[in-house]
Chain A
Amino acid sequence: KNQVEQSPQSLIILEGKNCTLQCNYTVSPFSNLRWYKQDTGRGPVSLTIMTFSENTKSNGRYTATLDADTKQSSLHITASQLSDSASYICVVSGEEFYFGTGTSLTVIP
């Protein structure tokens, strides 16, 4: 069964600290993996997209990794800011799109 699981479900960190979000998937065939940031009450916005051959991709303070062998991805946020508070959704594309349930990140002062 094609599934995308994210962990942790929620996370609270202090401003300025780093954090890592996890995404494990069982989607096959695999086309690409995307991380989206969704602010409360807004639509998701793409952070990174990774294909099978890509291991690491950065977008400012966001760095995504992909291990296609173990079917795991992570999103690392460096020097967190209050504006990073949002839900982070992992979406895997195969024959169709498969959404994870997201990690809710709260950054506190």
Chain B
Amino acid sequence: DAMVIQNPRYQVTQFGKPVTLSCSQTLNHNVMYWYQQKSSQAPKLLFHYYDKDFNNEADTPDNFQSRRPNTSFCFLDIRSPGLGDAAMYLCATSPRVADEQFFGPGTRLTVL
């Protein structure tokens, strides 16, 4: 089945220790998104790729970076995680920017 896969599902890291979250898709969608969702809050868009074009939200901290080496994969790098970065990180894809988004199961990040 075509799907959006996120690894790992749970990630524990130490304060200040870099961490990378992974997202892959078999939908062959052009657009891939990364969202941060904290408890009882709506997902907050961090950035998205349209093909290889990177689009960063204005209020996304510099601590968050992303890579998309090919159509199928997209990575979220948190260079120096702080306690406030503990959250669920959701990856989503869509054929085009305004189209329906398909979400992965998320990665729950804990920062110690």
Contacts and interface: CB of A to CB of B under 8 A. Distances in A.
Nearest to A45: B103
A48 to B, nearest CB: 10
A104 B100 contact: no
B70 interface: no
Interface residues of A, number: 21
Given A36-B103, A46-B100, A89-B43, 11 more contacts: A34-B100, A41-B108, A42-B105, A43-B104, A43-B105, A44-B90, A96-B45, A96-B97, A99-B42, A101-B41, A101-B42
B106 interface: yes
A99 B38 CA distance: 13
Interface residues of B, number: 22
B56 to A, nearest CB: 13
A46 B94 CA distance: 12
A100 B41 CA distance: 9
10 contacts: A34-B100, A36-B103, A43-B91, A43-B103, A44-B90, A45-B103, A46-B102, A99-B42, A99-B44, A101-B40
B98 interface: yes
A33 to B, nearest CB: 11
Interface in B22-64: 40-45
Contacts of B98: 31-32, 93
Most buried by A among B41, B44, B98: B98
